[in-house]
Amino acid sequence: MIPSETTVAIVGSGLIGRAWAITFARAGCKVRLFDPDPAVPEQAVAFVGSVADDLAANDLLHGSTPAETLSRLSCHAAIEDALDGAAWVQECGPEVIAVKRETFARLDAIAAPETILASSSSALLPSAISEGLTGRSRCLVAHPINPPYLVPAVELVPAPWTAAEVMARGEALLRAIGQTPLVMAREIDGFIMNRLQGALLEEAFRLVAGGYASPEDVDAGIAEGLALRWSFMGPFETIDLNAPGGVADYVSRYQGLYSGLFEGMKQRVDWAGPVLETVLKSRRDRLPEERLAERQLWRDRRLMALSAHKKRADEDVGR
C-alpha cells in the first residue's frame, strides 16, 4: 500500500479520529472524514490546521508541508461518501460494544469488498466487534496511543477469523506511513500496551498504598530512572544488556529476586481506595485541576521534542 495512492476513511472524527487524520495525511494518504455529528469533521480539519506548523517545525510532517497535509483532508456528511474509494477505514467511535457492533455492521454493508475495517478500540476485542459479520475476515483492531502522530506504536489485533492477508496489508500500510505496528498473533484483553501499563500501575499503587513511597518518588523512579533506557530499547533489550552473558544470564542471575517479589504482588490493590487520596493530593499539589488541559499541551510539546531527538539520535548514534 503506497500512501500517496491510498485513501483512508476516518469514521468518528473526534479526539482520536483527528489525530489519525494527521498521521495518515502527512504520509501522503487521502483522508476522508466522517462523523455522526456533521460539525465535527470541520472542527477536526481546523485542529489539524492549528497544530500543523508546530509539527512541521519539529520535522513531524514526514516532509509534507502544512498546506499539503491539509489539502489531503476532506469532510463528508454521508458515510457512503466518506467510504468511497477507501482502502482502509479507521473507526474511532465511542468505546461501547453495542455502538461498535452497529457501526461495523454498517461499514461492512457499505464498504467495497477489499476495504479493511480497523477499529481504534483500546478495550474491546476485535472478535466482539466483528462477530457475525459477513466480512468479519477483513476486520481488526488498530489501537494507537494517543496521539499517533507523536507516538508511533500501534497494536494490530486480529480476531480468530481475521485473514492473515488483511493483517499483512495492515502492517504494510502502517509501516509505510511511518508508524510502528505491533502485530499480535491473537487477541487478549488489554492487548500488549495496556497489559504492560496495568502491571506497572498496579505495583505503583501498591507501593504508595503500603506507605513505602510517595507518588512523586514512583514517577521519578520511572522518569529519571527506568524509562530512560526503555524509551529507546524496551524491557527485553534492557535486560539483555544488563548481564555479562545477555538475557539468559540475566534470568539465571535475577529470576530468584523477581520471583520473591511476585509473592507480594498477587493481591490486588483498590486504586479507588485510600491510596487514591494520597495520589490525588500529590498530583493536585503539583498541578491544580484547572491546569490539566494546559499540562496536556506541555506533554504534547515534550513528545514532539522527544520525537525529534530520537530521530536525530537514530542518525547520530545509531538505532
Instruction: Pick out residues in 118-177 that bind a copy of itself (CB under 8 A).
Output: 123, 145, 150-153, 155
Between CA 287 and CA 292 the distance in angstroms is 7
Q: Is 50 or 267 the residue whose CB approaches a copy of itself more closely? A: 267
The least distance separating a copy of itself from the CB of residue 224, rounded to whole angstroms, comes to: 4
Site for a copy of itself in 186-215 (CB under 8 A): 186, 188-190, 192-204, 206-207, 210-215
Q: Is the dihedral of CA 167, 173, 175, 180 positive or negative?
A: negative
| Cis peptide, bond prior to residue 147, ω within 30 of zero | yes
How many separate helices (H) and strands (E) can be counted in the chain? Answer: 14, 8
Please, what is the Cα angle at 234 between 3 and 60, to 5 degrees? 35
Between CA 143 and CA 300 the distance in angstroms is 19
Site for a copy of itself in 83-122 (CB under 8 A): none
Give the residue, chosen from 2, 46, 128, 222, that forms a contact with a copy of itself under the rule CB under 8 A: 222
Q: How far is CA 23 from CA 90, 157, 318, in A?
A: 11, 19, 25
How many residues lie near a copy of itself (CB under 8 A)?
Answer: 108
Give the residue, chosen from 109, 175, 228, 285, that forms a contact with a copy of itself under the rule CB under 8 A: 228
Q: Is 48 or 150 the residue whose CB approaches a copy of itself more closely? A: 150
Q: Does 53 interact with a copy of itself (rule: CB under 8 A)?
A: no
Helices 15-26 and 40-57 cross at an angle (nearest 10°) of: 50
Q: Is 46 or 292 the residue whose CB approaches a copy of itself more closely? A: 292
Give the residue, chosen from 185, 209, 274, 285, that forms a contact with a copy of itself under the rule CB under 8 A: 185
Q: How far is CA 137 from CA 96, 105, 115, 245, in A?
A: 21, 13, 11, 44
Q: Is 33 or 151 the residue whose CB approaches a copy of itself more closely? A: 151
Q: Is 42 or 314 the residue whose CB approaches a copy of itself more closely? A: 314
Site for a copy of itself in 259-298 (CB under 8 A): 259-262, 264-266, 268, 270-272, 276, 279-280, 282-284, 287, 289, 292, 295-296, 298
